[in-house]
Amino acid sequence: MNALIVIFITGLLSLFIAFAKKPLLVLITACAGLVTAAILLAQQWGLETPQSLFKYKGLLFDHNAIGYSLVAILFAFLAILAGYKSFKENEEHIGDYVALLLFSLVGAMCMVSYTDLFMFFLGLEILSIPIYVMAGTKKKDVRSSEASIKYFLTGAFATGVLLFGIAWLYGAVGSFDINVIGMKINLEASHSSLLYVGLLLILAAFLFKVGAAPFHFWSPDVYSGSPSIVTGYMAAVVKIGAFGAFIKLFTVCFPSLHEFWAPALAGLAILTMFVGNLSALSQITFKRLLAYSSITHVGYALLTILSTDGGSQFNLLFYLFAYGFSIISLITISMLLNDEEDKIEAFKGLGKRHPFLGFVAILALLSLAGVPPLVGFFGKYLVFAGAISEFPTLVVIAIINSGIGIYYYLKTIMTVVSKDDVSEAKIEVTGIQYFVLVVCALGLLLGGLFASHV
């Protein structure tokens, strides 16, 4: 809870410090606040009874919530650093941009630590509203305005569906507390039709928020139209909040109804994997490629929701941890290329033009493909291993889709290492961006060591 307060206050300070028109001071304040919050959470992790010491009205910072929050803080920290150069171009609004990202992070932390559906809804709105605004901050680009309005309208619709589902759920069990809901559902032999309708509506809203097919239609336009750093933040941090809330609700409230919702979710996971992969094959713009790749990875991550294995929470967290490093590094490199048309061809000859950037891009793409010994391989391994005993056919389909994905990742890598018609334009990398890319490279290379020792 103290970490939440620190990040919120840091966001407010960023707004006021920006009046001095000193972008570096805004950046230092934001980073200091995030580091302080991470330290506070790490201290809570070491306590023997975090559940009894850190339970507040509607929030519970247990080990799962602390783990998801720490990873979200890490990627928010890297995203703010990576986007500093572009934020600095508009000194009047740098405090607004940083504060909005920090406020959104507060929402993500609420979503992974909620204990009642009121707090979950508040966290969802705190997470989403700043991103609706950030998606439209490129005022001279009509695609950015389109991304903002499309994300807002479709997000508002999904929120309405979610609230309707929560209302039906409350009508069935008479409580908003997720532990009470889970207990009542487990104790009752037969259930009201209100419960089943509410569950399906909530499931549909969650699938929209994470970008699963057939609720994915907003993702490509929003990803491609938003400023690059906002795209990276959405893919890394927003997904952590949405998936953290998703797995918490369904493992606490609805495990006894697993046979009811699991077949539907399994079918949608298969659809999500194929829609994402097959659509990605024909993409010529980079952020749309990442959008469809993201949809595919959502399909893989849904296996952890389906699994009743006790380690599914950790498997999902580690998978998102591995995915986030790849996305942040690729988005950072994309911004450095400064290609307004966002063509994949902009990566042509990157390995020759700037060997370090080419090396990191190749690492990130191979990690997304799940090539050992990179962290993405261990993430997929944990997800597939956790689900194979219950859903062997689904895991086989996921492995086939991983093979399909390798094609367009390798195609992009071949563009990176190409030596034909290489642009001579110089790529300027700041010290801060070097730091972000080095951290991401270390995470991609060494993250698997962490998984192997857990």
pLDDT per position as a tens digit, 149-181: 999 999 999 999 999 999 999 999 988 999 899
Residues near 339 by Cβ (< 8 Å), separated by ≥ 6? Answer: 286, 346
Q: Tell me which residue of 331, 351, 219 sits closest to 275, measured CA to CA.
A: 219
Query: Does the pLDDT value for residue 54 go beyond 80?
Result: no
- The whole-angstrom distance between residue 302's C-alpha and the CA centroid of its chain comes to 13
Contact 141, 149 (CB under 8 A): no
pLDDT of residue 296: 95
pLDDT (tens digit per residue) in 228-267: 899 999 999 999 999 999 999 998 889 889 899 999 999 9
Q: Catalogue the E-assigned strands of 66-191.
A: none
d(CA 97, CA 134): 7
Query: Does the pLDDT value for residue 52 go beyond 60?
Result: no
- DSSP assignment, residue 189? S
pLDDT (tens digit per residue) in 415-447: 998 887 666 677 888 899 999 999 999 999 987
pLDDT of residue 451: 60
Burial of 332 (0-12, 13-18, 19+ CB in 10 A): buried
Query: Does the pLDDT value for residue 406 go beyond 50?
Result: yes
Q: What is the band of 207 on the pLDDT scale with cuts at 50, 70, 90?
A: very high
Query: Does the pLDDT value for residue 107 go beyond 60?
Result: yes
Burial of 419 (0-12, 13-18, 19+ CB in 10 A): exposed
Three-state DSSP at 116 gives strand
Question: Contacts by 65-69 with C-beta closer than 8 Å and gap 24+?
Answer: 65/109, 65/112, 65/113, 65/244, 66/41, 66/42, 67/314, 67/317, 68/112, 68/240, 68/241, 68/244, 68/317, 69/3, 69/41, 69/108, 69/109, 69/112, 69/113
pLDDT of residue 56: 59
d(CA 348, CA 420): 8
Residues near 111 by Cβ (< 8 Å), separated by ≥ 6? Answer: 120, 123, 124, 127, 241, 242, 244, 245
d(CA 217, CA 192): 32
Q: Is 174 left (phi over 0), alpha (psi -120 to 50) or beta?
A: left
* pTM tops 0.85, yes or no: yes
pLDDT (tens digit per residue) in 304-337: 999 877 778 889 999 999 999 999 999 999 999 8
User: 377: which 2 tokens?
Assistant: 């391989």
**If you search the block for the tokens 């720490």, which residue do you land on?**
70
- What rounded mean pLDDT belongs to the chain? 89
